Amino acid sequence: MHRFLCRALAVLALCALALAKLPAQDSADSFVKSHYTKYEFRIPMRDGKHLFTSVYVPKTGAFSDAGPYPFLMDRTPYSVAPYGEDRYPTHLGPSDEFEKGGYIFVYQDVRGRWMSEGDFVEMRPHIDNKKSPQDVDDASDTYDTIEFLLKNVPANNGKVGIWGISYPGFYTSASMIDSHPALVAASPQAPMTNLFKGDDSYHGGSFMLEANFGFYVFFKPQHNPEDPAHAQRDNFDFGTPDHYQFYLKAGSLADMESKYLKGSNWLYNDQFQHDTYDAYWKSRDLAPHMRNVKCAVLVVGGWYDAEDLAGPYGTFYAVNKFNPETPTTLVEGPWVHGGWARGDGSHLGDAQFNAKTAEYFRANIQFPFFEHYLKGKSAGAQPKAVVFETGTNVWRSFDAWPPKAAAPKTLYFHANGKLSFNPPTESKGADEYVSDPNHPVPFVGYTTDTVPQRYMVDDQRFASYRPDVLVYQTDPLEEDVTIAGPISPKLKIASSGTDSDFIVKLIDVYPDDAPDVEGTASGNKRVLDEAPLHMGGYQQLLRGEPFRAKFRNSWEKPEPLTPGKQTEIDYTMPDLFHTFRRGHRIMVQVQSSWFPLTDRNPQTFTDIPHAKPEDFVKATEQVFRQKDAASGVEVLVMP
């Protein structure tokens, strides 16, 4: 769910649509209005409910392609505004190429949102065995919608494509299951797949605090407002631009609900109350249901997606597993959440990619994909993975992901902050720090009132100076090192507490003589036309993820740590494709808080959402680095 984008647009303008459509304009010279005729339908579903749907059909003679045209659909919980057949959006489709290419665009309010009937259910669980017309889900709603469109919208060529970003990406994934014969192409982009395991809600068992609270104070239950274009929005007042201080003073998650939301949003309550991998989360995992996918699939994600970093992989692997004959491609670029749909993708914060990656994707990957499957135009053989290699800044294609040639190697921790692919030989060795949940490590080195899009590539020197952060780094590399695939911390730890978080960060350290970069539009910190930034010694975050120790043996049944007893923390962080250039260093940082990106672990084994102030205690954390208890990070290294 595109947390901070929705908030920035005051929710009225629409996660998926905000990426594809700008606010409505009624001017007569609007390209959309002059080239399309708009229709609004209340499409009946098999259980008798009606879903509000806006359809934009090319006018006769508007395009050199005289039709018939394929449908391109987007299903969203964020509203299909503007409402009214005389009101048009400024843009249609995923990009300009589609708007000018001859498509019938379909936008639908999903069940229970805005002008659609029925009840809204967060990530509605899929029903594999539907026994009656009352057994409905997003796959059946899409199927019924397609049936209606084929019969009631003239000048269509009998083919349907669907796409969506973030929550609409989830609806795209759900729509592919037991897909309608006319659905021939689908592109789930940054799809939510499993909210507990790495998507919006929980990462490694830690609650993604800032993103979720910031989202749900705006995304609230609503149903069929009389005037959805002007529905009332409550603007939540945080009272300070410093959210580190706001969340530190707010108390427990339950305290925050009682103080600020006061029972107004059961959607938020569901997120923080279900803090283990229980039936609520299991039923909402789409991956086990991704069967009978008959349409071609283009899964899209960003290396620096702060919301749904894991979702694209979950969807991609599930489609491949259950539908091996289905053409399926994974695309990953150096993008934030939905960043491929807007802008040029040439940089993020201070990280430069030296290519207009988003423009390349839109024109050379996304548009040809739909043109091929919906219009029969030649697009050539589609590789299994098209991925952007950061560091060298080039696009590469593979017949499998991760690449078959990538082999596992471990970066081991050593004394004096050394990091090496050589295992330790010492018989004893450990590093330790004191973690204080009342003085947590911030996730950025500057004041912010949101989750800045740039944080996933930010300079980490502010953290490396803290005594509660362990730092390990290699000598300057004598040759390039390319990693491709998931990153797996393997820690041997002990704690004086009965629970703790362990955050591991993989970092690219620039050489002292790295060239400066010009000021860039980077949000919250630097702006265009500022003085050049000195990149010498820059510690660029590449990947960071938390893990809550009580889940080390089971996501369903957490277990306390035994104070002082050595134990293992093994987990997997989402994939990366990056080259550490010769002369750079590889760094790993280990810490036990990352605030307020994630909620605070009291370091007492307790019901964290309802933790009391006295539960939050200091803990001494030990990370072992000896021969029989080696800690490190496993990566897949290209030859």
Tokens of 77: 């919980």
349 φ/ψ angles, rounded to the nearest 5 degrees: 55, -125
Closest CA to 533 of 510, 549, 567: 510
Q: Is residue 149 within 8 Å of residue 187, measured between CB atoms?
A: no
- With b meaning 16 or more CB within 10 Å and e meaning fewer, what string describes 445-458? eeebbbbbbbbbbb
Q: How confident is the model at residue 61 (pLDDT cuts 50, 70, 90)?
A: confident
On the 0-12 / 13-18 / 19+ scale of CB atoms within 10 A, 428 is: exposed
pLDDT value, residue 21:
39
User: How far, in Å, CA of 423 to CA of 632, rounded?
Assistant: 9
CATH, range 407-637? 2.60.120.260
Banded model confidence at residue 521, pLDDT cuts 50, 70, 90: very low
Residue 167: strand, helix, or coil: helix
What's the chain's average pLDDT?
A: 91
Task: Kindly tell me if the per-residue pLDDT of 606 is higher than 60.
Answer: yes
Domain ranges of the chain: 3-194+284-398, 407-637
Is pLDDT at 12 greater than 60 in this prediction? Answer: no
How far, CA to CA in Å, does 637 sit from each of 284, 486, 514, 545, 552? 34, 11, 24, 20, 26
For position 261, what pLDDT does the model report? 83
Complete DSSP assignment for 128-149: SS--STT---HHHHHHHHHHHH
% of the chain beyond a pLDDT of 90: 82
- pLDDT band of residue 233 (cuts 50, 70, 90) is low
pLDDT band (50, 70, 90) for residue 262: confident
Q: Please enumerate in sequence order all residues whose Cβ is within 8 A of that of 446, keeping only pairs 6 or more positions apart, or say none.
A: 524, 525
Q: Which residue has the tokens 């007893």?
A: 565
Give per-residue pLDDT as tens, 74-90: 999 999 999 999 999 99
Q: Which of 253-267, 331-345, 493-507 has the lowest mean pLDDT?
A: 253-267
Residue 477 tokens read as 């590399």
Range from 48-57, 195-204, 517-526 carrying the lowest mean pLDDT: 517-526
In order of 42, 70, 368, 470, 477, the CA distances from 419 in angstroms are: 61, 55, 44, 12, 11
Q: Which of 45-59, 262-276, 465-479, 556-570 has the lowest mean pLDDT?
A: 262-276
Stretch among 140-144, 274-278, 531-535, 555-559 having the lowest mean pLDDT: 531-535
Per-residue pLDDT of 312-370, as tens digits, reads 999 999 999 999 999 999 999 999 999 999 899 999 999 999 999 999 999 999 999 99
pLDDT mean over 193-206:
94
Let me know: does 189 contact 41? Beta carbons within 8 Å: no
Choice between 225 and 111, residue whose per-residue pLDDT is larger? 111
Indicate the SS3 state at residue 266: helix
Mean pLDDT for the stretch of residues 152-174: 97
Statement: residue 164 has pLDDT above 70: yes
Residue 615 CB contacts under 8 Å (≥ 6 apart), including other chains: 602, 604, 606
Q: Are 301 and 311 in contact (CB under 8 A)?
A: yes
The pLDDT of 246-255, averaged and rounded, is 91
DSSP letter, residue 459: B
Phi/psi at 65 (nearest 5 deg)?
-80, 110
Cβ count near 426 (within 10 Å): 13
Distance of alpha carbon 13 from alpha carbon 21, whole angstroms:
9
Ramachandran angles phi, psi of 372, nearest 5°? -70, -50
**Which of 27-31, 597-601, 617-621 comes out lowest in average pLDDT?**
27-31
pLDDT of residue 25: 45
Q: What is the CATH number of domain 3-194+284-398?
A: 3.40.50.1820
